[in-house]
Chain A
Amino acid sequence: MFRNAILMTVPLLLLFFILAEAGTAPLRVGGRCEYARYSGEARIISIVEKNEDRYEVKFLFTPRTQIKAQPPLLLTEKREFLMLIDNSIYPNKAYLKLNSIVADKVFDCNIKVIIKGACTPRLFEFPSMRTVND
Protein backbone atom coordinates (compact mmCIF):
# COMPACT_ATOMS: atom_id res chain seq x y z
CA MET A 1 0.00 0.00 0.00
CA PHE A 2 2.75 2.40 1.02
CA ARG A 3 4.83 1.46 -2.00
CA ASN A 4 1.85 2.00 -4.27
CA ALA A 5 1.31 5.39 -2.80
CA ILE A 6 4.90 6.39 -3.49
CA LEU A 7 4.65 5.05 -7.00
CA MET A 8 1.58 7.19 -7.61
CA THR A 9 2.91 10.30 -5.91
CA VAL A 10 6.21 10.56 -7.77
CA PRO A 11 4.65 10.76 -11.26
CA LEU A 12 2.09 13.23 -9.99
CA LEU A 13 4.81 15.43 -8.53
CA LEU A 14 6.79 15.22 -11.75
CA LEU A 15 3.69 16.16 -13.73
CA PHE A 16 3.06 19.06 -11.39
CA PHE A 17 6.56 20.46 -11.83
CA ILE A 18 6.39 20.03 -15.57
CA LEU A 19 3.08 21.84 -15.70
CA ALA A 20 4.31 24.51 -13.34
CA GLU A 21 7.32 25.16 -15.54
CA ALA A 22 5.18 25.29 -18.65
CA GLY A 23 2.34 27.26 -17.08
CA THR A 24 2.90 30.62 -18.66
CA ALA A 25 -0.36 31.76 -20.18
CA PRO A 26 -1.02 35.36 -19.05
CA LEU A 27 -4.48 36.13 -17.85
CA ARG A 28 -3.58 39.07 -15.73
CA VAL A 29 -2.88 42.46 -17.16
CA GLY A 30 -0.45 45.10 -16.02
CA GLY A 31 2.28 44.18 -13.63
CA ARG A 32 5.84 45.27 -13.09
CA CYS A 33 7.57 47.26 -15.80
CA GLU A 34 11.14 47.91 -16.79
CA TYR A 35 12.57 51.11 -18.17
CA ALA A 36 15.75 52.43 -19.67
CA ARG A 37 16.72 55.89 -18.56
CA TYR A 38 18.65 58.36 -20.73
CA SER A 39 19.89 61.72 -19.68
CA GLY A 40 19.41 64.87 -21.67
CA GLU A 41 18.12 68.37 -21.40
CA ALA A 42 14.77 70.05 -21.73
CA ARG A 43 14.34 73.52 -23.19
CA ILE A 44 11.15 75.27 -22.12
CA ILE A 45 9.37 76.59 -25.17
CA SER A 46 6.05 77.84 -23.80
CA ILE A 47 4.16 78.40 -20.57
CA VAL A 48 0.42 78.84 -20.96
CA GLU A 49 -2.24 78.98 -18.27
CA LYS A 50 -4.41 75.88 -18.56
CA ASN A 51 -6.90 76.51 -15.80
CA GLU A 52 -6.89 77.92 -12.30
CA ASP A 53 -3.30 77.85 -11.08
CA ARG A 54 -2.28 75.13 -13.49
CA TYR A 55 0.09 75.77 -16.36
CA GLU A 56 0.78 73.92 -19.56
CA VAL A 57 4.55 73.96 -19.83
CA LYS A 58 5.94 72.56 -23.06
CA PHE A 59 9.53 71.62 -23.69
CA LEU A 60 11.79 70.13 -26.30
CA PHE A 61 13.94 67.22 -25.20
CA THR A 62 17.46 66.64 -26.49
CA PRO A 63 19.44 63.58 -25.48
CA ARG A 64 22.93 64.40 -24.31
CA THR A 65 24.39 62.09 -26.93
CA GLN A 66 22.97 60.90 -30.16
CA ILE A 67 21.83 57.30 -30.01
CA LYS A 68 21.88 55.66 -33.38
CA ALA A 69 19.77 52.63 -32.60
CA GLN A 70 16.96 54.27 -30.78
CA PRO A 71 13.95 52.58 -29.26
CA PRO A 72 10.84 53.97 -30.96
CA LEU A 73 9.89 56.13 -28.03
CA LEU A 74 13.18 57.99 -28.17
CA LEU A 75 12.01 59.79 -31.27
CA THR A 76 12.07 63.15 -29.60
CA GLU A 77 13.45 65.48 -32.22
CA LYS A 78 11.21 68.49 -32.87
CA ARG A 79 8.57 67.05 -30.58
CA GLU A 80 6.95 69.05 -27.84
CA PHE A 81 6.36 67.39 -24.50
CA LEU A 82 4.44 68.47 -21.43
CA MET A 83 6.27 69.14 -18.21
CA LEU A 84 4.14 67.48 -15.55
CA ILE A 85 4.83 66.93 -11.87
CA ASP A 86 5.00 63.16 -11.35
CA ASN A 87 4.15 62.90 -15.04
CA SER A 88 0.49 63.66 -14.41
CA ILE A 89 0.01 66.94 -12.58
CA TYR A 90 0.20 70.28 -14.33
CA PRO A 91 2.56 72.56 -12.37
CA ASN A 92 1.21 75.51 -10.48
CA LYS A 93 2.69 78.94 -10.11
CA ALA A 94 4.46 78.14 -6.89
CA TYR A 95 6.27 75.30 -8.64
CA LEU A 96 7.19 77.51 -11.59
CA LYS A 97 8.51 80.27 -9.37
CA LEU A 98 10.32 77.91 -7.01
CA ASN A 99 12.19 76.35 -9.90
CA SER A 100 12.51 79.52 -12.00
CA ILE A 101 10.79 77.87 -14.92
CA VAL A 102 10.60 80.39 -17.75
CA ALA A 103 10.62 80.17 -21.51
CA ASP A 104 13.96 79.29 -23.13
CA LYS A 105 15.47 78.04 -19.91
CA VAL A 106 17.18 74.65 -20.09
CA PHE A 107 16.92 71.99 -17.39
CA ASP A 108 18.49 68.63 -16.86
CA CYS A 109 15.99 66.01 -17.89
CA ASN A 110 15.95 62.23 -18.08
CA ILE A 111 13.74 60.31 -20.40
CA LYS A 112 12.56 56.90 -19.25
CA VAL A 113 11.63 54.56 -22.05
CA ILE A 114 9.83 51.35 -21.35
CA ILE A 115 11.57 48.08 -22.05
CA LYS A 116 8.93 45.74 -20.79
CA GLY A 117 5.43 45.88 -19.37
CA ALA A 118 2.17 47.75 -19.79
CA CYS A 119 3.00 50.93 -17.93
CA THR A 120 3.18 54.41 -19.43
CA PRO A 121 5.88 53.89 -22.01
CA ARG A 122 7.61 57.28 -22.03
CA LEU A 123 8.19 59.28 -18.88
CA PHE A 124 10.32 62.27 -18.03
CA GLU A 125 12.21 63.15 -14.90
CA PHE A 126 13.56 66.54 -13.89
CA PRO A 127 16.13 65.70 -11.24
CA SER A 128 16.90 69.31 -10.35
CA MET A 129 13.33 70.33 -9.72
CA ARG A 130 12.26 71.02 -6.16
CA THR A 131 8.72 70.53 -5.02
CA VAL A 132 6.91 73.12 -2.96
CA ASN A 133 7.22 70.96 0.12
CA ASP A 134 10.96 70.42 -0.23
Chain B
Amino acid sequence: MNLTEYFALVLNDYTLRTITLGTAILGAVTGMLGSFAVLRKQSLLGDAISHAALPGIAIAFLITGAKDSNTLLFGALISGLLGTFWIRGIISKTHLKSDTALGLILSVFFGFGMLLLTFIQKQPNANQAGLDKYLFGQAATLVESDVWLMAVVTGLSLFVMLLFWKEFKILLFDKDYAKTLGFNTKFIDILITFFIVLAIVLGLQTVGVVLMSAMLLAPAAAARQWTNSLSMMVILAAIFGAFSGVFGTAISASQNNLSTGPVIVLVAAVFVLVSFVFSPSRGLLFRQIRVFKNRSDLELHKTLSFMYHIAETHTDISHPHEIRILNNFHGFTKGSLKKLQEKNYIQLQGSTWSLTDEGFKMATNLYNQQQKGHE
Protein backbone atom coordinates (compact mmCIF):
# COMPACT_ATOMS: atom_id res chain seq x y z
CA MET B 1 0.00 0.00 0.00
CA ASN B 2 1.41 3.42 -0.85
CA LEU B 3 0.30 6.81 0.43
CA THR B 4 -2.28 7.48 -2.30
CA GLU B 5 -3.84 4.08 -1.77
CA TYR B 6 -3.96 4.86 1.92
CA PHE B 7 -5.87 8.08 1.43
CA ALA B 8 -8.29 6.28 -0.89
CA LEU B 9 -8.77 3.55 1.67
CA VAL B 10 -9.15 5.82 4.66
CA LEU B 11 -12.62 6.89 3.59
CA ASN B 12 -13.87 3.32 3.15
CA ASP B 13 -11.90 1.15 5.51
CA TYR B 14 -13.49 1.22 8.95
CA THR B 15 -10.40 0.27 10.96
CA LEU B 16 -8.11 2.66 9.16
CA ARG B 17 -10.64 5.45 9.50
CA THR B 18 -11.00 4.84 13.23
CA ILE B 19 -7.26 4.86 13.78
CA THR B 20 -6.69 7.96 11.65
CA LEU B 21 -9.50 9.83 13.37
CA GLY B 22 -8.10 8.80 16.73
CA THR B 23 -4.57 9.98 16.04
CA ALA B 24 -5.86 13.22 14.51
CA ILE B 25 -7.99 14.05 17.55
CA LEU B 26 -5.19 13.06 19.87
CA GLY B 27 -2.73 15.30 18.01
CA ALA B 28 -5.15 18.22 18.15
CA VAL B 29 -5.87 17.99 21.87
CA THR B 30 -2.25 17.42 22.90
CA GLY B 31 -1.10 20.26 20.66
CA MET B 32 -3.69 22.58 22.16
CA LEU B 33 -2.93 21.75 25.78
CA GLY B 34 0.76 21.39 25.04
CA SER B 35 0.86 25.11 24.22
CA PHE B 36 0.08 25.81 27.87
CA ALA B 37 2.71 23.38 29.08
CA VAL B 38 5.35 24.97 26.85
CA LEU B 39 4.44 28.53 27.85
CA ARG B 40 4.55 27.59 31.53
CA LYS B 41 8.07 26.25 30.96
CA GLN B 42 6.81 22.88 32.12
CA SER B 43 7.93 20.95 29.08
CA LEU B 44 9.50 18.26 31.20
CA LEU B 45 6.38 17.87 33.31
CA GLY B 46 4.68 16.06 30.41
CA ASP B 47 7.49 13.54 30.27
CA ALA B 48 7.33 12.93 34.00
CA ILE B 49 3.54 12.57 33.97
CA SER B 50 3.50 10.07 31.11
CA HIS B 51 6.14 7.91 32.77
CA ALA B 52 4.36 8.23 36.11
CA ALA B 53 1.22 6.80 34.49
CA LEU B 54 2.76 3.38 33.87
CA PRO B 55 2.36 1.85 37.35
CA GLY B 56 -1.28 2.99 37.29
CA ILE B 57 -1.90 0.87 34.20
CA ALA B 58 -0.29 -2.17 35.80
CA ILE B 59 -2.10 -1.75 39.11
CA ALA B 60 -5.45 -1.24 37.38
CA PHE B 61 -4.87 -4.54 35.58
CA LEU B 62 -3.83 -6.34 38.75
CA ILE B 63 -6.89 -5.14 40.65
CA THR B 64 -9.57 -5.61 37.99
CA GLY B 65 -8.00 -8.19 35.72
CA ALA B 66 -9.67 -6.26 32.93
CA LYS B 67 -7.79 -5.25 29.82
CA ASP B 68 -10.14 -2.73 28.24
CA SER B 69 -8.38 0.55 27.67
CA ASN B 70 -10.84 2.68 29.66
CA THR B 71 -10.13 0.84 32.91
CA LEU B 72 -6.39 0.87 32.37
CA LEU B 73 -6.32 4.56 31.36
CA PHE B 74 -8.30 5.41 34.48
CA GLY B 75 -5.51 3.78 36.47
CA ALA B 76 -3.00 5.77 34.43
CA LEU B 77 -4.88 8.98 35.20
CA ILE B 78 -4.80 8.33 38.94
CA SER B 79 -1.13 7.53 39.00
CA GLY B 80 -0.29 10.39 36.62
CA LEU B 81 -2.10 12.85 38.90
CA LEU B 82 -0.42 11.34 41.95
CA GLY B 83 2.98 11.80 40.30
CA THR B 84 2.13 15.41 39.42
CA PHE B 85 1.14 16.30 42.97
CA TRP B 86 4.22 14.63 44.39
CA ILE B 87 6.36 16.68 42.03
CA ARG B 88 4.64 19.86 43.18
CA GLY B 89 4.98 18.76 46.78
CA ILE B 90 8.69 18.06 46.42
CA ILE B 91 9.30 21.44 44.79
CA SER B 92 7.40 23.44 47.40
CA LYS B 93 8.38 21.48 50.51
CA THR B 94 12.06 20.71 49.96
CA HIS B 95 15.11 22.52 48.67
CA LEU B 96 15.18 20.35 45.54
CA LYS B 97 14.91 22.15 42.22
CA SER B 98 12.12 21.30 39.82
CA ASP B 99 14.34 19.37 37.36
CA THR B 100 15.47 17.12 40.21
CA ALA B 101 11.91 16.55 41.37
CA LEU B 102 10.77 15.75 37.82
CA GLY B 103 13.64 13.35 37.20
CA LEU B 104 13.10 11.65 40.53
CA ILE B 105 9.37 11.05 40.09
CA LEU B 106 9.82 10.07 36.45
CA SER B 107 12.37 7.36 37.13
CA VAL B 108 10.88 6.07 40.37
CA PHE B 109 7.37 5.73 38.92
CA PHE B 110 8.63 4.31 35.64
CA GLY B 111 10.88 1.84 37.43
CA PHE B 112 8.01 0.73 39.64
CA GLY B 113 5.79 0.40 36.58
CA MET B 114 8.34 -1.76 34.76
CA LEU B 115 8.69 -3.92 37.86
CA LEU B 116 4.94 -4.48 37.93
CA LEU B 117 4.87 -5.24 34.19
CA THR B 118 7.50 -7.99 34.53
CA PHE B 119 5.65 -9.31 37.58
CA ILE B 120 2.43 -9.47 35.56
CA GLN B 121 4.17 -11.23 32.68
CA LYS B 122 5.33 -13.99 35.05
CA GLN B 123 1.72 -14.64 36.08
CA PRO B 124 0.24 -17.90 34.75
CA ASN B 125 -2.57 -15.98 33.17
CA ALA B 126 -3.01 -15.84 29.42
CA ASN B 127 -4.79 -12.55 29.75
CA GLN B 128 -1.65 -10.57 30.57
CA ALA B 129 -0.23 -10.28 27.09
CA GLY B 130 -0.27 -6.87 25.46
CA LEU B 131 0.16 -4.57 28.45
CA ASP B 132 3.58 -3.61 27.17
CA LYS B 133 1.94 -1.86 24.24
CA TYR B 134 1.57 1.11 26.59
CA LEU B 135 5.34 1.55 26.51
CA PHE B 136 5.57 2.60 22.86
CA GLY B 137 1.90 2.68 21.98
CA GLN B 138 0.02 0.76 19.35
CA ALA B 139 -2.39 2.80 17.29
CA ALA B 140 -3.72 -0.33 15.61
CA THR B 141 -5.50 -1.29 18.83
CA LEU B 142 -7.67 1.86 18.77
CA VAL B 143 -11.36 1.02 18.55
CA GLU B 144 -14.38 3.24 18.13
CA SER B 145 -15.02 3.60 21.87
CA ASP B 146 -11.44 4.86 22.36
CA VAL B 147 -11.99 7.50 19.71
CA TRP B 148 -15.25 8.53 21.33
CA LEU B 149 -13.46 8.94 24.64
CA MET B 150 -10.84 11.10 22.95
CA ALA B 151 -13.52 13.21 21.28
CA VAL B 152 -15.37 13.75 24.56
CA VAL B 153 -12.21 14.74 26.42
CA THR B 154 -11.19 17.05 23.58
CA GLY B 155 -14.60 18.71 23.59
CA LEU B 156 -14.42 19.14 27.35
CA SER B 157 -10.92 20.66 27.24
CA LEU B 158 -11.99 23.00 24.48
CA PHE B 159 -15.00 24.13 26.49
CA VAL B 160 -13.00 24.70 29.66
CA MET B 161 -10.25 26.46 27.74
CA LEU B 162 -12.67 28.87 26.07
CA LEU B 163 -14.51 29.46 29.33
CA PHE B 164 -11.36 30.26 31.32
CA TRP B 165 -9.32 31.70 28.45
CA LYS B 166 -8.68 35.02 30.18
CA GLU B 167 -7.78 33.30 33.45
CA PHE B 168 -5.42 30.85 31.73
CA LYS B 169 -3.71 33.65 29.87
CA ILE B 170 -3.06 35.82 32.90
CA LEU B 171 -1.88 32.86 34.96
CA LEU B 172 0.58 31.87 32.24
CA PHE B 173 1.92 35.38 31.84
CA ASP B 174 1.99 36.74 35.38
CA LYS B 175 0.80 34.53 38.20
CA ASP B 176 1.54 36.90 41.08
CA TYR B 177 -0.32 39.71 39.38
CA ALA B 178 -3.30 37.43 38.74
CA LYS B 179 -3.34 36.70 42.45
CA THR B 180 -3.49 40.38 43.38
CA LEU B 181 -6.49 40.79 41.09
CA GLY B 182 -8.33 38.28 43.25
CA PHE B 183 -8.13 35.20 41.04
CA ASN B 184 -7.71 31.85 42.73
CA THR B 185 -4.48 30.99 40.95
CA LYS B 186 -4.23 27.62 42.65
CA PHE B 187 -7.54 26.58 41.15
CA ILE B 188 -6.59 27.74 37.63
CA ASP B 189 -3.22 26.07 38.00
CA ILE B 190 -4.77 22.74 39.01
CA LEU B 191 -7.34 23.02 36.22
CA ILE B 192 -4.65 23.45 33.55
CA THR B 193 -2.49 20.71 35.01
CA PHE B 194 -5.45 18.33 35.24
CA PHE B 195 -6.25 18.73 31.56
CA ILE B 196 -2.60 18.31 30.58
CA VAL B 197 -2.50 15.05 32.54
CA LEU B 198 -5.77 13.98 30.92
CA ALA B 199 -4.41 14.62 27.42
CA ILE B 200 -1.25 12.68 28.19
CA VAL B 201 -3.14 9.69 29.55
CA LEU B 202 -5.37 9.73 26.51
CA GLY B 203 -2.37 9.32 24.24
CA LEU B 204 -0.70 6.44 26.09
CA GLN B 205 -2.47 3.74 24.08
CA THR B 206 -1.51 5.33 20.78
CA VAL B 207 1.92 6.85 21.33
CA GLY B 208 3.04 5.23 24.54
CA VAL B 209 4.59 6.28 27.84
CA VAL B 210 8.05 6.91 26.47
CA LEU B 211 7.26 9.20 23.55
CA MET B 212 4.09 10.89 24.78
CA SER B 213 5.72 14.12 25.88
CA ALA B 214 6.84 14.81 22.30
CA MET B 215 3.18 14.98 21.26
CA LEU B 216 2.67 17.64 23.88
CA LEU B 217 5.71 19.75 23.09
CA ALA B 218 6.51 19.42 19.40
CA PRO B 219 3.33 20.93 17.90
CA ALA B 220 3.39 23.76 20.46
CA ALA B 221 7.05 24.54 19.88
CA ALA B 222 6.48 24.59 16.12
CA ALA B 223 3.38 26.79 16.44
CA ARG B 224 5.20 29.35 18.61
CA GLN B 225 7.51 30.09 15.67
CA TRP B 226 4.74 31.29 13.40
CA THR B 227 2.74 33.65 15.57
CA ASN B 228 2.88 36.20 18.35
CA SER B 229 -0.65 35.66 19.55
CA LEU B 230 -1.65 33.11 22.15
CA SER B 231 -4.92 32.13 20.48
CA MET B 232 -3.23 31.66 17.12
CA MET B 233 -0.52 29.59 18.76
CA VAL B 234 -3.07 27.24 20.34
CA ILE B 235 -4.97 26.88 17.04
CA LEU B 236 -1.79 26.23 15.04
CA ALA B 237 -0.52 23.73 17.60
CA ALA B 238 -3.79 21.83 17.34
CA ILE B 239 -3.56 21.82 13.54
CA PHE B 240 0.10 20.72 13.55
CA GLY B 241 -0.72 18.01 16.07
CA ALA B 242 -3.67 16.74 14.04
CA PHE B 243 -1.63 16.65 10.85
CA SER B 244 1.20 14.83 12.62
CA GLY B 245 -1.35 12.24 13.69
CA VAL B 246 -2.83 11.80 10.22
CA PHE B 247 0.46 11.78 8.31
CA GLY B 248 2.10 9.57 10.92
CA THR B 249 -0.70 7.03 10.63
CA ALA B 250 -0.63 7.25 6.84
CA ILE B 251 3.11 6.68 6.64
CA SER B 252 3.09 3.86 9.14
CA ALA B 253 0.14 2.12 7.47
CA SER B 254 1.58 2.47 3.99
CA GLN B 255 5.14 1.45 4.85
CA ASN B 256 4.96 -2.09 6.06
CA ASN B 257 3.17 -1.19 9.28
CA LEU B 258 5.97 0.80 10.84
CA SER B 259 5.23 1.43 14.50
CA THR B 260 2.72 4.32 14.48
CA GLY B 261 3.68 6.18 17.66
CA PRO B 262 7.30 6.84 16.72
CA VAL B 263 6.31 7.83 13.17
CA ILE B 264 3.77 10.36 14.49
CA VAL B 265 6.43 11.81 16.78
CA LEU B 266 8.92 12.03 13.90
CA VAL B 267 6.38 13.81 11.70
CA ALA B 268 5.78 16.27 14.54
CA ALA B 269 9.55 16.73 14.75
CA VAL B 270 9.62 17.62 11.05
CA PHE B 271 7.05 20.34 11.77
CA VAL B 272 9.38 21.66 14.47
CA LEU B 273 12.42 21.57 12.21
CA VAL B 274 10.69 23.32 9.32
CA SER B 275 9.27 25.94 11.68
CA PHE B 276 12.60 26.67 13.30
CA VAL B 277 14.28 27.16 9.96
CA PHE B 278 11.59 28.79 7.81
CA SER B 279 9.42 30.89 10.12
CA PRO B 280 9.54 34.44 8.70
CA SER B 281 9.99 36.32 11.96
CA ARG B 282 11.74 33.85 14.26
CA GLY B 283 13.22 31.29 11.86
CA LEU B 284 16.96 30.80 11.55
CA LEU B 285 17.03 31.21 7.79
CA PHE B 286 15.30 34.57 7.52
CA ARG B 287 17.05 35.87 10.58
CA GLN B 288 20.40 35.08 8.98
CA ILE B 289 19.30 36.69 5.72
CA ARG B 290 18.26 39.80 7.63
CA VAL B 291 21.63 39.93 9.36
CA PHE B 292 23.48 39.77 6.02
CA LYS B 293 21.21 42.31 4.41
CA ASN B 294 21.62 44.68 7.31
CA ARG B 295 25.36 44.34 7.09
CA SER B 296 25.60 45.06 3.41
CA ASP B 297 23.14 47.96 3.79
CA LEU B 298 25.34 49.40 6.50
CA GLU B 299 28.41 49.00 4.29
CA LEU B 300 26.73 50.90 1.50
CA HIS B 301 25.57 53.63 3.86
CA LYS B 302 29.04 53.98 5.28
CA THR B 303 30.60 54.36 1.83
CA LEU B 304 27.89 56.73 0.76
CA SER B 305 28.28 58.92 3.81
CA PHE B 306 32.04 59.13 3.26
CA MET B 307 31.42 60.18 -0.33
CA TYR B 308 28.92 62.73 0.92
CA HIS B 309 31.51 64.36 3.16
CA ILE B 310 33.92 64.67 0.24
CA ALA B 311 31.32 65.88 -2.21
CA GLU B 312 30.05 68.41 0.32
CA THR B 313 33.30 70.35 0.06
CA HIS B 314 32.75 70.96 -3.65
CA THR B 315 30.25 73.32 -5.15
CA ASP B 316 29.46 70.73 -7.78
CA ILE B 317 28.32 67.62 -5.96
CA SER B 318 28.93 65.49 -9.04
CA HIS B 319 32.60 66.46 -9.18
CA PRO B 320 34.53 63.23 -9.96
CA HIS B 321 36.99 61.76 -7.43
CA GLU B 322 39.59 59.02 -7.62
CA ILE B 323 38.46 55.59 -6.44
CA ARG B 324 41.87 55.26 -4.75
CA ILE B 325 40.88 57.62 -1.94
CA LEU B 326 38.30 55.09 -0.69
CA ASN B 327 39.44 52.20 1.48
CA ASN B 328 37.73 49.43 3.37
CA PHE B 329 37.55 51.49 6.52
CA HIS B 330 34.77 53.27 4.74
CA GLY B 331 33.00 50.01 4.00
CA PHE B 332 34.40 50.18 0.48
CA THR B 333 34.69 47.09 -1.70
CA LYS B 334 34.41 46.65 -5.45
CA GLY B 335 31.08 44.99 -4.82
CA SER B 336 29.68 47.85 -2.81
CA LEU B 337 30.72 50.39 -5.47
CA LYS B 338 28.96 48.31 -8.05
CA LYS B 339 25.82 48.12 -5.92
CA LEU B 340 25.85 51.88 -5.43
CA GLN B 341 26.10 52.24 -9.18
CA GLU B 342 23.21 49.84 -9.71
CA LYS B 343 21.09 51.90 -7.34
CA ASN B 344 22.08 54.95 -9.41
CA TYR B 345 23.61 56.69 -6.38
CA ILE B 346 27.00 57.11 -8.08
CA GLN B 347 28.50 57.13 -11.54
CA LEU B 348 31.74 55.30 -12.28
CA GLN B 349 34.01 56.55 -15.02
CA GLY B 350 37.42 54.93 -15.44
CA SER B 351 39.18 55.31 -12.12
CA THR B 352 36.82 57.98 -10.77
CA TRP B 353 33.46 58.09 -9.06
CA SER B 354 30.98 60.91 -8.69
CA LEU B 355 27.76 61.23 -6.71
CA THR B 356 24.53 61.56 -8.64
CA ASP B 357 21.80 63.96 -7.50
CA GLU B 358 19.85 61.01 -6.20
CA GLY B 359 22.86 59.68 -4.33
CA PHE B 360 23.48 63.08 -2.77
CA LYS B 361 19.87 63.28 -1.65
CA MET B 362 20.02 59.81 -0.14
CA ALA B 363 23.29 60.61 1.63
CA THR B 364 21.88 63.87 3.00
CA ASN B 365 18.93 61.96 4.41
CA LEU B 366 21.21 59.41 6.02
CA TYR B 367 23.38 62.14 7.46
CA ASN B 368 20.40 63.94 8.96
CA GLN B 369 19.07 60.71 10.40
CA GLN B 370 22.40 60.06 12.03
CA GLN B 371 22.49 63.51 13.53
CA LYS B 372 19.04 62.91 14.98
CA GLY B 373 20.13 59.57 16.37
CA HIS B 374 22.97 61.22 18.25
CA GLU B 375 20.80 63.77 19.95
Partners in one complex: no
